[in-house]
Structure 1
Amino acid sequence: MVSFIEKWSAQVHEARARSLELIADLKAEELQVPYLPTVNLFLWEVCHLAHFFDFWVLRQGRDCAGRGGLEGRVDQLFDSTCIEHEHRWRLDVPGREECLDYVLGVRDRVLELIEKGVEDPGLRYLIEYSVYHEDMHAEALSYTRQALGYCLPQLGVARHTPAAAAPVVGDAYFEGGVLELGAVRDSGFCFDNEKWAHPVEVAPFCMAKSAVSEGEWQEFVEDDGYGRRDLWSTAGWAWVQAVQAEQPLYWRRSKGGHLERRHFDAWSAIDPDRVMVHIAWFEAEAFACWAGRRLPTEAEWEFAAGDWAGAPAAFDWCAGGPVDTNAFSESATPEGCRQMMGNVWEWTSSTFVPYKGFEADMYADFSQSSFHTRKVLRGGSWATRSRLMRPSLRNFYQPSRRDIFAGLRTCALKA
């Protein structure tokens, strides 16, 4: 059995290496990100990751060495809980070399702390939390590169392109029943918004066996889906008009009138079988209406996902981007639903709310500042770390966000 020291030394080292890989090839001018309300400056973000370990692990572990120089200012520069997003562009963030000295120095001190032995369960939890926090930001660094049109980063990841499989069509039927929604006590790490499993009655439902593809979305676009008021909620239609959406983000029409899609810096023709990605909740809701269907609730989604235990899926950058909706047939659920885990986050109809008895973890702003204002996504994406994933994991974003690696799967209106 792998010891705590072996496991978490390796994971701390690997998580930091992945974060740095995601910015390693960027030139000085590429690090100067223009202000966008959905992303962070690259150097600020990796320093924030180091600060998170610094604040929650090193200081809790009583390592307060080296507080001079940059380290004497890190709380004022990189603490996301007290630095408003827009203000980060006005901070005096040091250059690449000084930032990397801090980032690598914190990593090394965390590794030294772990090597000495960590017996306190609370500190062990903080180490694990900090690794997963870094994993989530690695995905954010990925979609920041996508937003800016930078090239696909070359990561030290074993690439695996799944074999082609026969198309899957139609719905899977679920009889419903009582679902223990959320994380089960003593089942391992979970975030505060997953606590704790509680019984929820789920009525019978039918869910699509695959996520929506680019080909299906193209039909929606060509049928004037973005111009038909009857398909959109009041809030959704206001959003369409505000952003003047006529097609998905990162889509365009070629000079010949054909739809194309951008993946990082490369434009390609629409692939009918590739999973649809970069969709806002408002768009997902309108598409479902156009298709005569609906989005699943998060309880239905978790019911359908079942007990995923690490079966092959599109995680960890294994294919360098989203894959076909037909892929990974070997890890379909017993009912035939493919890729419930991985490839793209899937929007649900559910608003992000606390489960009964919710209590915030030590990082209080992680969940509670977002309750009642965001929609729940489930399942993870191709850029999500598989070690982070479990069926109870809840992601949450504003319904207007479409820069993230999000798609959708629909349900029939009646079972």
Structure 2
Amino acid sequence: MTAPETGTPVAGAEALRDRALASLTTARARTTLLTSCVEDPDLTAQHSPLMSPLVWDLAHIGNQEELWLLRAVGGLEAMRPEIDGLYDAFEHPRSERPSLPLLPPGEARHYAAEVRKRALDLLETADFHGTRLTEAGFAFGMIAQHEQQHDETMLITHQLRTGPPVLTAPDPGPAPAFTGPAEVLVPGGPFTMGTSTEPWALDNERPAHSREVAPFWIDTAPVTNAAYLAFIEDGGYDTERWWTPEGWAHVQKHSLTAPLFWHRDGGGQWLRRRFGVTEAVPPDEPVLHVCWYEADAYARWAGRRLPTEAEWEKAARHDPATGRSRRYPWGDADPSPEHANLGQRHLGPAPAGSYPAGESPLGVRQLIGDVWEWTASDLTPYPGFTAFPYKEYSQVFFGPEYKVLRGGSFAVDPVACRGTFRNWDYPVRRQIFSGFRTARPETA
């Protein structure tokens, strides 16, 4: 039997109020940065059919905050009920959103600001008991996470946008060359997966349950650009046997030859475009902007495989000394800059093997931050799953169409990143900040 899951103790009302205020304020500052660094034509343009115009995200953030904080929690009268349909993500696919009568930038800013003002007034007197939506400030945490998730989406749009750079941030900087083992053995046996105690955990992370995992080896750090380049130069994109049938068909149809945003210069050097800057591909960074099919093919070429979602979480949370599951690889403390590359503090991943303070008890590094990591698993509900507070957050995505990503990227804020946090996307997606690490059975 594994030890009981350890989660965040529920804080007092004032501490919860302070946490909610800080989380909402941090998210809004980032939203403002991402929508104020370009002129209005860039806000209303669609930079890729895969993404919404930035102005849609801005008003959608305000609309979700109005729906769940002002109306659902506060019981207040609707401010702009006529726009609910425009900003319903399930009513209008992204490719159609530029044709909708969206709020113009100035009006969208005003609407989001007015909603926030009323939400903060509500927070001052909020009761953190009584209903599941208000317990431990869940609704406020959900909205902070929602805004940060859209901030990451908007950052992806900035990466897809052409033109001169408009975002700046210091690079992580060089790190001492990692000289530890290339892989770590994760012991077999049961562990506690998911959570029932993390106050702001979302429905797909719940409930905590015991999961049995056979012993396996996992990469100490994410796969690097240099390692992935070896796959390319060995004819990885030209060799059908490394790919699933669906993956090979996708490669052929779209003529894939390298990660998204990579290209060769006239001398054969590999370059990449990053937020409007063209630069040499850094060999020691985790590879970025690869789809699930590419990650899976690389793993096959390397004689390995992608870890399952359960394997990934055990490597990230299991403490063999105590048998319990931690909140994060390093322990139960919230992330700090010493632990992980999060929160758009940088505009790219740190060198592989960075953040020794953030490694797991088994010695696995960078499980949180830097790049989202593809796993072998489809998105499925945990035993005892209950949709909350609406089925469109998770339930409608369950099935084999979506693959699970874990760990968060440099673009993820700590409020939306935990050892239990689950992300998912289609296996063809490459514009997201996705990388991977590989695994193998103990006996392989």
Separation in 2, partners of 1:367, 1:72: 25
Give the aligned partner of residue 31 of structure 1.
Answer: 43
Residue 129, structure 1, aligned to residue 142, structure 2: yes
Pairing of 1:363-402 with structure 2 (within 5 A): 363-372=390-399, 373-402=401-430
Decide which of 219, 224, 232 is 2:243's aligned counterpart.
232
Residue 56, structure 1, aligned to residue 95, structure 2: no
Q: Mind listing any 5+ residue stretches in structure 1 that lack a counterpart?
A: none
Pairing of 1:21-170 with structure 2 (within 5 A): 21-34=33-46, 36-65=48-77, 67=79, 71-120=80-129, 121=131, 122-123=133-134, 124-149=137-162, 153-154=166-167, 161=172, 164-167=175-178, 168-170=180-182
Aligned alpha-carbon RMSD (Å): 2.0
Contact 1:162 1:328 in 2 (8 A): no
Secondary structure of the structure 1 residue equivalent to 2:405: strand
Give the aligned partner of residue 216 of structure 1.
Answer: 227
Decide which of 271, 291, 296 is 1:285's aligned counterpart.
296
Shift of 1:62: 4.0
Shift of 1:117: 3.1
Separation in 1, partners of 2:204, 2:361: 28
Summarize deviations over 1:124-147 as a string: whole Å, max 9, x none: 322211111111111111111111
Contact 1:182 1:197 in 2 (8 A): yes
Separation in 1, partners of 2:68, 2:247: 39
Number of residue equivalences: 409
Separation in 1, partners of 2:377, 2:33: 35
Shift of 1:56: 1.1
Question: Which amino acid is the alignment partner of residue 390 of structure 1?
Answer: R
Could you tell which deviates more after superposition, 83-92 or 402-411? 83-92
Contact 1:305 1:391 in 2 (8 A): yes
Structure 2 CA distance for partners of 1:6 and 1:297, relative to 1, 3 Å? same
Shift of 1:33: 2.7
Decide which of 143, 165, 174 is 2:186's aligned counterpart.
174
Separation in 1, partners of 2:145, 2:99: 28
Contact 1:169 1:210 in 2 (8 A): no
Question: Which amino acid is the alignment partner of residue 100 of structure 2?
Answer: L
Decide which of 348, 353, 356 is 1:329's aligned counterpart.
356
Secondary structure of the structure 1 residue equivalent to 2:103: coil
Shift of 1:318: 2.1
Separation in 1, partners of 2:20, 2:371: 27
Give the aligned partner of residue 8 of structure 1.
Answer: 20
Secondary structure of the structure 2 residue equivalent to 1:178: strand
Give the aligned partner of residue 196 of structure 1.
Answer: 207
Give the aligned partner of residue 274 of structure 1.
Answer: 285
Structure 2 CA distance for partners of 1:297 and 1:66, relative to 1, 3 Å? closer
Shift of 1:66: 6.9
Contact 1:208 1:409 in 2 (8 A): yes
Contact 1:260 1:267 in 2 (8 A): yes
Structure 2 CA distance for partners of 1:330 and 1:116, relative to 1, 3 Å? closer
Secondary structure of the structure 2 residue equivalent to 1:110: helix
Summarize deviations over 1:186-245 as a string: whole Å, max 9, x none: 232211111112111110101111110011111111111111111100010111112111
Give the aligned partner of residue 368 of structure 2.
Answer: 341
Residue 403, structure 1, aligned to residue 431, structure 2: yes
Give the aligned partner of residue 249 of structure 1.
Answer: 260
Contact 1:293 1:411 in 2 (8 A): yes
Contact 1:322 1:382 in 2 (8 A): yes
Structure 2 CA distance for partners of 1:118 and 1:154, relative to 1, 3 Å? farther
Shift of 1:100: 0.7
Summarize deviations over 1:289-339 as a string: whole Å, max 9, x none: 111111001111111112223351111122232110021123222322111
Provide TM-score, normalisation by structure 1. Answer: 0.93
Structure 2 CA distance for partners of 1:302 and 1:153, relative to 1, 3 Å? farther
Shift of 1:13: 2.4
Contact 1:22 1:153 in 2 (8 A): no
Separation in 2, partners of 1:133, 1:95: 22
Structure 2 CA distance for partners of 1:249 and 1:163, relative to 1, 3 Å? closer
Structure 2 CA distance for partners of 1:223 and 1:387, relative to 1, 3 Å? same
Separation in 1, partners of 2:193, 2:227: 31
Contact 1:179 1:299 in 2 (8 A): no
Give the aligned partner of residue 346 of structure 2.
Answer: 319
Secondary structure of the structure 2 residue equivalent to 1:347: strand
Percentage of identical aligned residues: 33
Contact 1:226 1:240 in 2 (8 A): yes
Separation in 2, partners of 1:335, 1:119: 37
Provide TM-score, normalisation by structure 2. Answer: 0.87
Separation in 1, partners of 2:91, 2:46: 21
Separation in 2, partners of 1:215, 1:172: 20
Shift of 1:160: 7.4
